[in-house]
Structure 1
Amino acid sequence: MNKVTVLGSLNVDTILRFKRFPKPGETLPLAGKSVAGGGKGANQAIAASRAGAETTFIGKVGQDREGNFMVRQLTDSGVDDQYVQHSNAANTGTAFILLDQSSENRILIDGGTNQQVTPADVDAAKQVIAASDFLVAQFETPLAATIHGFELAHAANCRTILNPAPATTAVPAELLAVTDLIVPNETETETLTGVHVTDEASMVEGAHKLQALGVANVIITVGSKGAFWMRGQEHGFVPAYRVRAVDTTAAGDTFIGALSSVLKPDFSNLAEAVRLSNRASSLAVQKLGAQPSIPTYAEIAAADQVTTD
């Protein structure tokens, strides 16, 4: 069992469902409204824990009902919350997910306390980072905290996984220097490298450019098509499983969380870990809501058994 620490965001998601996105000035009725736990960091931690990893979370919530709700989402899924700080300086992060009938989503985020995570908060978890196989982070919390966390992990021989989302062109060189695996989607790859990802040749080009930035191991996820991986000079493509998508909100986070739970620290099983992560994502997109849709390892294994029988 891997030990995984996730540094990241916690958001309460309000999901608004409708037939189609309204035109400018147009009013349309909702087909449904629901509330669920979310935030890329929390999603990834819950995915890692449900897939079997011993998981700890570093983050911050407000002194409010939403903060208590988000901590409960973590602990109910077996995630250690001892390094989740409670702050009265801001409200817990929130997100509004706009979801049309084709399962396309658009997301609006109020970062709240996620934007108050500091290097000192990371320092408090220094020992658990040192004891972890992987430290995972995204871009929904301040870069200074992520850089510090990755430097601590690097010094302790804990491997680091960076999900560069939301996309940004300004990833500090000092962060990439202590990143062992980077996992962007095709849009984030283009933002980081300038390479428009359309086929495997462009994935190879994008991955080589990411390696040139200092990251030896790369995974590029391409939604319903699957995921491309590169380890040193080795590379391959793992097709996605064909399913009927209901809500794609947590697909990428489920992929990364599941990946961290089964990936070996030397990355020797990268291709197989990607395949299992594709399977986990294929289950997540068949349900509504970010965290309610994330599968357990038993569900992933059962789906694999159905496929292979």
Structure 2
Amino acid sequence: MAAIVLLGDINIDLVLDIPEYPLEGGEAIATAQRHMLGGSATNTAIALSRAGHDCRLIGRVGQDAWGQQALSSLEDIGVSTAWIGRDPLEPTQTNIVTVGKSGERTMFAYRGANAQLSPAFIADDAFEDAALFHLSGYAFLQSPQSDAAMRAIELAQEFQVPVTLDIPAGVALSVAPRVRNLLSKFDTIMLGRADLAPLAGEGPEIPADDAIKSLLRQGVRRIALKHDLTGSALYQNSGCESAPWFSVVAVDTTGAGDAFAAGHIIGRVSGLAGSECCRLANAFGAIAVTRQGAGLSMPALAEVMNLISADNGNGCEIAG
């Protein structure tokens, strides 16, 4: 299977099930608590590794027990930790993730060691023989991690490795100033409809179709649109292809976008048609929301293929 390089956050999630959110200054009693491995690029790497890919994760953790736990868990599942550093000053990122009755997650984070990843820690050998380089949009939130991300993009281009970028919900406005200067370097950007306008550099009232055309004009080759009402879509200069959502009961949306990204990446490196990439991404996301937390709860490819087959009797042909 393909070698895939990923850069982004590695963290520990404290997940709390909250039946009702209090007003500021109030209290809420959780009905359950879980400590789980997390981080946008980490979740995607786990899903890709479970699909048989050689995943090389670039990141940073603290010299603490949480950092050691994260490294051990990644190694156990087959994700390479050779390019993950240990920060002597900052702790491993910890996220407080609250999950409401609907399954929707709310997240509070201290970025810790993740934000201290610098260009000096980006090694050329991570990109040797790689089929794709995937970036989490969180990496552009602050320097020096944003500088490290840009250095990694430069190396990917030197090695002629296509670059994909996932923009998690809620960070587009913060990362857009950095990302807009790099649009021509991205093979695929994955994002929600609400994040199109700020990324394209257009006014907030611009129609989504116009923002998509603007991004394509600026050099992005593929735009994978998530968070739409009826399904997901993949836009290219040659046109648009789409696939409907799967009908599942959502338990926890944590990591759903990261699983969606894994589906698109697998479709991309397997040479699937746009609609099949969308269908695979939708299936990964669908299984993710039926489970509590992210990290080691990420779907396996066999489960995804079973869901696709059960839905319409036909699976996708995934290249080795």
Same structural fold, with TM-score higher than 0.5 when normalized by the shorter chain = yes
Q: Secondary structure at 1:183's aligned position in 2?
A: strand
Paired position in structure 2 for 1:306: 310
Paired position in structure 2 for 1:152: 155
Q: Secondary structure at 1:90's aligned position in 2?
A: coil
Task: Supply the AA of the counterpart residue of 1:222.
Answer: H
Structure 1 residues 2-11 or 267-276, which shifts more?
A: 267-276
Give the distance between the partners of 1:186 and 1:195, measured in 2 at CA: 14
Give the distance between the partners of 1:74 and 1:27, measured in 2 at CA: 35
Give the distance between the partners of 2:312 and 2:76, measured in 1 at CA: 31
Task: Supply the AA of the counterpart residue of 2:35.
Answer: V
Paired position in structure 1 for 2:135: 137
Give the distance between the partners of 1:249 and 1:48, measured in 2 at CA: 17
Q: Call closer, same or farther: CA 1:241–1:68 in 2, change over 3 Å.
A: same
Give the distance between the partners of 2:40 and 2:194, measured in 1 at CA: 17
Paired position in structure 2 for 1:64: 64
Paired position in structure 2 for 1:214: 219
Task: Supply the AA of the counterpart residue of 2:220.
Answer: V
Give the distance between the partners of 2:229 and 2:282, measured in 1 at CA: 9
Q: Secondary structure at 1:81's aligned position in 2?
A: coil
Paired position in structure 2 for 1:53: 53
| 1:23-102 alignment runs, 5 A limit | 23-102=23-102
Offset, 1:27 = 2.1
Residue 175 in structure 1 maps to residue 182 in structure 2: yes
C-alpha distance after superposition, 1:10-56 (max 9, x if no partner):
01001111112212333222111111011111111111111232211
Give the distance between the partners of 1:172 and 1:8, measured in 2 at CA: 15
Q: Call closer, same or farther: CA 1:99–1:301 in 2, change over 3 Å.
A: same
Q: Call closer, same or farther: CA 1:31–1:223 in 2, change over 3 Å.
A: farther
Structure 1 spans left out of the alignment, 5+ residues: none
Offset, 1:121 = 1.2
Q: What is the aligned-residue RMSD (CA, Å)?
A: 2.1
Residue 263 in structure 1 maps to residue 261 in structure 2: no
Give the distance between the partners of 2:185 and 2:47, measured in 1 at CA: 24
Q: Call closer, same or farther: CA 1:233–1:277 in 2, change over 3 Å.
A: same
Contact 1:220 1:227 in 2 (8 A): yes
Give the distance between the partners of 2:52 and 2:194, measured in 1 at CA: 30
Give the distance between the partners of 2:259 and 2:39, measured in 1 at CA: 12
| 1:110-129 alignment runs, 5 A limit | 110-122=110-122, 124=123, 126-129=124-127
Contact 1:150 1:175 in 2 (8 A): no
Contact 1:130 1:157 in 2 (8 A): no
Residue 231 in structure 1 maps to residue 236 in structure 2: yes
Task: Supply the AA of the counterpart residue of 2:27.
Answer: T
C-alpha distance after superposition, 1:114-170 (max 9, x if no partner):
011111211x2x123131111001233322111111111112110100113332331
Give the distance between the partners of 2:41 and 2:3, measured in 1 at CA: 16
Give the distance between the partners of 2:67 and 2:280, measured in 1 at CA: 32
Give the distance between the partners of 2:102 and 2:96, measured in 1 at CA: 18
Paired position in structure 2 for 1:191: 198
Residue 242 in structure 1 maps to residue 247 in structure 2: yes
Give the distance between the partners of 1:241 and 1:195, measured in 2 at CA: 33
Give identity over the alignment, percent.
25
Q: Secondary structure at 1:171's aligned position in 2?
A: helix
| 1:268-279 alignment runs, 5 A limit | 269-279=273-283
Give the distance between the partners of 1:110 and 1:56, measured in 2 at CA: 24
Q: Secondary structure at 2:185's aligned position in 1?
A: coil
Q: How many residues end up aligned between the 2 structures? A: 303
Structure 1 residues 5-14 or 181-190, which shifts more?
A: 181-190
Offset, 1:270 = 2.8
TM-score, length-scaled by structure 1: 0.91
Structure 2 spans left out of the alignment, 5+ residues: 140-144, 314-320
Task: Supply the AA of the counterpart residue of 2:198.
Answer: T
Give the distance between the partners of 2:91 and 2:228, measured in 1 at CA: 32
Give the distance between the partners of 1:95 and 1:220, measured in 2 at CA: 26
Task: Supply the AA of the counterpart residue of 1:157.
Answer: Q
Offset, 1:102 = 0.8
Q: Call closer, same or farther: CA 1:76–1:258 in 2, change over 3 Å.
A: farther
Q: Call closer, same or farther: CA 1:57–1:301 in 2, change over 3 Å.
A: same
Offset, 1:195 = 7.0
Task: Supply the AA of the counterpart residue of 2:128.
Answer: A
Task: Supply the AA of the counterpart residue of 1:34.
Answer: R
Give the distance between the partners of 1:223 and 1:15, measured in 2 at CA: 26
